[in-house]
Chains A and B, each alone.
Chain A
Amino acid sequence: MSSHRKLSYSLAINEALHQTMAADPSVFLIGQGVKSPWYVGDTAQGLLERFGTDRVIDTPVSENAMTGAAVGAALAGMKPVVVHPRVDFMFYAFDPIINEAANWYYMNGGKLPVPVVFWGIINRGGEQAAQHSQSLHGMFAQVPGLKVVMPATPYDAKGLMIAAIREPNPVVFIDDRWLYKLEEPVPEEIYEVEIGRGNVVRPGNDVTVVASSFMVQESIKAAEMLVKEGINVEVVDLRTIKPLDENLILASVQKTGRLVVVDGGWRTCGLAAEVSALVSERAFGALKAPVVRITLPDCPAPASAILENAYYRTSTDIIRAVKSIL
């Protein structure tokens, strides 16, 4: 077994599905496009051929019912993964996800857990405009009863998908098409990345940059530029955004005294606001400068490429933010 075998982010997810489905007959995949090579990328490739139409179920356009069916199957002892090829389409499924799945365990005194994975793909850019570009993790993270993971690397994509499937409670797994081609060594064996654990992906002493998903890659890019100017940024990859790895964030800020929070979601009541609030409550004394948030503006995603460029945040914005508090 080679520990240097490289895998793309999307194929890392694919391998997680292959291995968990092979290991556990109660795991199945349901959602739009799972049989189509041009719908969910290559994340579902080979699954239909290997596990058949009973366990790899392409569906009509019925997000509410299909997601509810996954929740019901979970209550009946299965471990469903329900995929939404764009998170935007999950709004139709908010009822089964939020009202039902998230609340079931608590509202029934812990009698029956709901081991379901709600997999939503962020698929933005390309002048697709507002209803095909959204990142809704902040909304999910606000709901008690949902764990929310957002892998930034192929290694984490595989490990978090496996952990999400094995987790007895509902997990929202959000990946990003902009990461699909990213490659790195990924172990061939089955392994978990623990839900609720972040990761310092780049150590540094000057400023802490907390990010998740695609924005981790932009943060690393920013850190690589900044180090040339003698600025050492510590990049914290949240990996799980609910529950947050609070101690990891706090420890980093205790060390650096400065914080930039980077999020691919909207500003108001978003993930960046949450991290910022956590730090001001629990590490206020360590702060040498105000916390800076880099988020999407509170604005729908526009079509025009020029406006898209103004809308999405990049390493340039992160560099500017870091410099603004030094």
Chain B
Amino acid sequence: MKGDHSGNLNYPRNLLVSFHRQMLRIRLCEEAFVEPILAGEVHCPCHLYSGEEAVAVGVCAALTDRDYVFGNHRSHGHYLAKGGSMREMVAEIFCRETGCSRGRGGSMHLIAPDVGMLGSAPIVAGTISLALGAALASTIRRDGRVAVTFFGDGATGEGVLYECMSFAALKKLPIIFVCENNYYATHMPISECRVGREIHEIARPFGIESRQIDGNDVLAVYDAGLHAVEKCRAGNGPVFIECLTYRYRGHVGPDDNVQGSHTDIRPREEIELWREKDPIKRFEGYLTDQRIMTQEELNMAREEMTREVTDAHDFARRSPLPRAEELERYVFA
């Protein structure tokens, strides 16, 4: 797939290798939840990220551990890409005491403050203003940190997004609004949620630099992320990035929401079309075409990531469950 990306060709090899590893790591980790969910071993609602890996990986690669990220209901990828521990995430999804939220939060409450992942929460648009606040803190302290808010196309329906854009623009806050447009909000195709105007255009009236990119092209995402981070660090934030992407799985759980199934939403051809644009497959094609990695090296990476996922599941399974007596352990009021 030569030329099927918009990045320049001067990326260090180890960066490209890590993009591949990170995306693969997320994909394999996500897909490994399918069986335990179907077997009733994982109960908490899991909104799988498969298909959207390039967004989290590209954006987070442009950040440092000191920068902040806030997620939403579909944040396994954000958490892993930001550097959260896979063991702790899987344990959280299995609701174990060793999970990143000690089994209190489950899939929709992932947090890793040490690496700047300040949390995720399943209220649509609920964390956008929190990222705004993190950016505000950075500005007050003049510490150069950047805050990223990941949200979906569905979140563009909530008024708080516009309030945040307005204030961020007014104060030139170092916040990057990353909209993951996967064309659906639960059962609603985007055409039933908004008129045909492109999402990236919503930021312009606030004077925010904004663009739409191919969210399945990790290099394009990285370039956009890097540019946005530079602008924000220079005091010229905020920046808005709309990433066009697609989730292979349905809204929640392994179900693919294909037409004809009980959830009956998406045409099968549409899912297949997006499979052609798979961010990992495409990037692997690029890596081999450019002779950056051999097929054998790709296979080895896959085996290594598979081992990490297996290890994380083993860790989760042998971890203790929270104790009923500790229900109120973190209650302070």
- Residues on A lying within 8 angstroms of B by beta carbon are 32-33, 35-39, 58-65, 88-89, 91-92, 126-132, 297-300, 302-307, 309-311
Closest 9 CB pairs of A and B: A303-B106, A60-B157, A127-B44, A304-B95, A310-B324, A60-B193, A36-B187, A304-B103, A61-B157
B322 partner, pick from A35, A64, A131, A304, beta carbons under 8 A = A304
B250 (CB) vs chain A CBs: closest residue = A38
Which A residues lie within 8 Å of B106 (CB)? 127-129, 303-304
B152 (CB) vs chain A CBs: closest residue = A61
**Further 12 A-B residue pairs, CB within 8 A, beyond A128-B106, A131-B123, A305-B95:** A35-B187, A38-B262, A59-B157, A60-B157, A60-B188, A89-B124, A91-B123, A128-B45, A298-B331, A302-B327, A303-B95, A309-B324
CA distance A304 to B327 in the complex (A): 10
Tell yes or no: B109 within 8 A of A by CB.
yes
B327-A297 in contact (CB<8A)? yes
Q: How many A-B residue pairs have CB under 8 A?
A: 117
A303-B104 in contact (CB<8A)? yes
A61 (CB) vs chain B CBs: closest residue = B157
User: Contacts A303-B105, A306-B321, A309-B324; is A58 near B122 (CB within 8 Å)?
Assistant: no
Secondary structure call for the A interface:
loop
B158-A307 in contact (CB<8A)? no
Tell yes or no: B154 within 8 A of A by CB.
yes
CA distance A36 to B328 in the complex (A): 37
Which of A61, A300, A303 has its CB near the most chain B CB atoms (within 10 A)?
Answer: A303
Tell yes or no: B194 within 8 A of A by CB.
yes
A60-B194 in contact (CB<8A)? yes
CA distance A65 to B157 in the complex (A): 9
A131 partner, pick from B121, B185, B263, B331, beta carbons under 8 A = B121
- Residues on B lying within 8 angstroms of A by beta carbon are 43-45, 95, 101, 103-106, 108-109, 121-126, 154-155, 157-160, 185-188, 192-194, 262-263, 321-328, 331, 333
CA distance A311 to B327 in the complex (A): 7
CA distance A61 to B188 in the complex (A): 10
Can you give 8 contacting A-B residue pairs, CB < 8 Å?
A: A36-B187, A127-B44, A299-B328, A302-B322, A303-B101, A303-B105, A303-B106, A307-B322
A65-B159 in contact (CB<8A)? yes
B188 partner, pick from A58, A132, A298, A307, beta carbons under 8 A = A58
Which B residues lie within 8 Å of A300 (CB)? 104, 331
CA distance A307 to B45 in the complex (A): 16
Which B residues lie within 8 Å of A89 (CB)? 123-124
Which of A37, A39, A61, A89 has its CB near the most chain B CB atoms (within 10 A)?
Answer: A61
CA distance A58 to B154 in the complex (A): 13
Which B residues lie within 8 Å of A33 (CB)? 186-187
CA distance A35 to B187 in the complex (A): 9
Which B residues lie within 8 Å of A38 (CB)? 187, 262-263
CA distance A273 to B121 in the complex (A): 31
A126 partner, pick from B44, B194, B323, beta carbons under 8 A = B44
* Chain A: minimal CB distance from B185 (Å): 6
CA distance A91 to B326 in the complex (A): 28
B185-A307 in contact (CB<8A)? no
A126-B185 in contact (CB<8A)? no
A129-B157 in contact (CB<8A)? no
A128 (CB) vs chain B CBs: closest residue = B45
A39-B321 in contact (CB<8A)? no
Which B residues lie within 8 Å of A132 (CB)? 45, 108, 122
Which B residues lie within 8 Å of A62 (CB)? 157-159
User: Contacts A33-B186, A36-B187, A305-B95; is A129 near B109 (CB within 8 Å)?
Assistant: yes
Which B residues lie within 8 Å of A302 (CB)? 103-104, 322, 327
CA distance A311 to B192 in the complex (A): 39
A64 (CB) vs chain B CBs: closest residue = B159
A304 partner, pick from B104, B125, B154, B160, beta carbons under 8 A = B104
A89 (CB) vs chain B CBs: closest residue = B123
A310 partner, pick from B126, B157, B327, B333, beta carbons under 8 A = B327
B106 (CB) vs chain A CBs: closest residue = A303
Which A residues lie within 8 Å of B157 (CB)? 59-62
A61-B104 in contact (CB<8A)? no
Which B residues lie within 8 Å of A307 (CB)? 103-104, 322, 324, 326-327
A129-B321 in contact (CB<8A)? no
CA distance A303 to B104 in the complex (A): 5
A303-B158 in contact (CB<8A)? no
CA distance A302 to B329 in the complex (A): 11
A127-B188 in contact (CB<8A)? no
Which of A35, A37, A88, A306 has its CB near the most chain B CB atoms (within 10 A)?
Answer: A306
User: Contacts A92-B158, A298-B331; is A39 near B186 (CB within 8 Å)?
Assistant: yes
